[in-house]
Each structure stands twice: as structure tokens, then as C-alpha cells.
A and B are shown apart, each in its own frame.
Chain A
Amino acid sequence: SAVISQKPSRDICQRGTSLTIQCQVDSQVTMMFWYRQQPGQSLTLIATANQGSEATYESGFVIDKFPISRPNLTFSTLTVSNMSPEDSSIYLCSVESGEGTDTQYFGPGTRLTVL
């Protein structure tokens, strides 16, 4: 199974600022995914991040608000831009196991609070 770490684990930010979340995997993976979990809710896919190409965003999410970088096969960042209190959520990255099983493993999440 893949071991995934995220930084920061939590943060409290002011309205109008931006936060970049890092996701590091202990093995090379083709695709990484970014999810948002709003308070008391389920997870919603934000985008799929491929190495060497632009991320693919789901309906309701745009690159200007959630720019994503994928510089190599073990690392990705998600930036939450121009934050508002509605962006307060847990942000999680995930990867497929790469073992041919389609199993997806998740990082520990970044808990973001916007004041």
C-alpha cells in the first residue's frame, strides 16, 4: 500500500489569503486525486492530477480557485486561493495503489479553517 503524507495537517487562515497544501507519496504513481470534505459532509472530488499535464477539474471546481501542480510522480500541491469561510474543509489527496487492484489510498488530510 502507498504511504501518503500531507502538509500542513491543519491551518487557520484569514479571508482573502491563499494556502498551498502538499501531498507526498512514498512511491511513483501515475495519477493523484484531490478531494474536499466540507464539515459533516462526504468527500467530493476536486480534480485529478497527472504528471506532466494540466489537472482535470470536476464540475464546480475551477483552476483559478484551486490551482494544482504535479511536478513529479511522487508529489502534488493544491492551492486554495482567495479563501472565504465557505472553503473551510478537510482537503485530502489520494492515489491508486499501483498494484493493479484499483484500491485508492488517502492521505491524512489537511483541516482548513478560514476566518
Chain B
Amino acid sequence: SQQGEEDPQALSIQEGENATMNCSYKTSINNLQWYRQNSGRGLVHLILIRSNEREKHSGRLRVTLDTSKKSSSLLITASRAADTASYFCATGLLNTGTASKLTFGTGTRLQVTL
């Protein structure tokens, strides 16, 4: 079953506005990663936040993590038409060995209009 649920499922905003997407998950995690996917292509890694972190920034992106509520949010500020894509959160659980295997959320489709 899906680990993460995202809301909203779809979001339409105008260029320059901010976009906020939320992700909730069910079990304890090692890390949470956000990805962008354009038109069914490969995933682009945006940002990783560890379970002991509460907030991270990368350019116009701001990610928060609340482990007590098992939730995370992705904020894109000053959105651009090029930000139009699907956004997925993925929770990382420690796998055997050194890597974490990811469980993906349902995704948010963001549409940024001019």
C-alpha cells in the first residue's frame, strides 16, 4: 500500500504565486525526498530532508518535516510556468545494506498559468 498521501491531488495557480503541497505518511522514516516529474518522464530530485531535520531550503523550495504528525510540506515560492509538473514525496526506510528503499506518495499535479 502507498506509504504517502499527498494533497491536493491537483493545484492550479498563476505565475508568481506560491504553491504548497502536503505529504502524509504512516510509519517511521529515515528520510523524506521530494521529486518532480514532467509529463511522464524521469524523476528529478529536488530535496532530501532527514528525520532529525525540521526545515530545509533550496532556491525557491522550502521543505518542512513534522515527524510527530508524520507529515511534510513542499513550498514553491514565486512559481513559474516551468514549474508545471507532478510532484511526489517519497519516504525512505533503511533497507538492508547502505541504501534506503523509497515509498512514493500519490503525487500532486501542479499547473502554473501565465
Chain A interface residues toward B at CB < 8 A: 1, 30-31, 33, 35, 37, 42-45, 48, 50, 56, 90, 92, 94, 96, 101-109, 111
Given contacts A42-B2, A102-B92, A104-B100, 16 further A-B contacts (CB under 8 A): A30-B97, A31-B95, A33-B102, A43-B88, A43-B90, A43-B104, A45-B102, A56-B96, A102-B33, A104-B33, A104-B90, A104-B92, A104-B99, A105-B45, A106-B43, A106-B45
Residues from chain A with Cβ under 8 Å of B45 in the complex: 1, 103-106
| Closest chain B residue to A58, Cβ basis | B101
Q: Could you tell me if B33 and A44 are in contact, using CB atoms closer than 8 angstroms? A: no
B104: A residues at CB distance < 8 A: 35, 42-44
A31 touches B42 (CB 8 A): no
Q: Is the interface of B mostly helix, strand, loop or mixed?
A: strand
- Contacting pair B95 A48 (CB below 8 A): yes
| Cβ contact within 8 Å between B88 and A104 | no
Q: How far is the CA of A61 from the CA of B11 in the complex (A)?
A: 33
Q: Does B30 contact A (CB under 8 A)?
A: yes
Please tell me if the beta carbons of A101 and B101 are within 8 angstroms of each other in the complex.
no
CB distance from B9 to the nearest CB of A (A): 11
A85 to chain B, nearest CB (A): 17
B33, B101, B106: the one contacting A45 at CB < 8 Å is: B101
Instruction: For A111, list chain B residues within 8 Å (CB).
Output: 40
Q: Which residues of A contact B68 (CB under 8 A)?
A: none
Would you call B31 an interface residue if the criterion is a C-beta within 8 Å of the partner chain's C-beta atoms?
A: yes
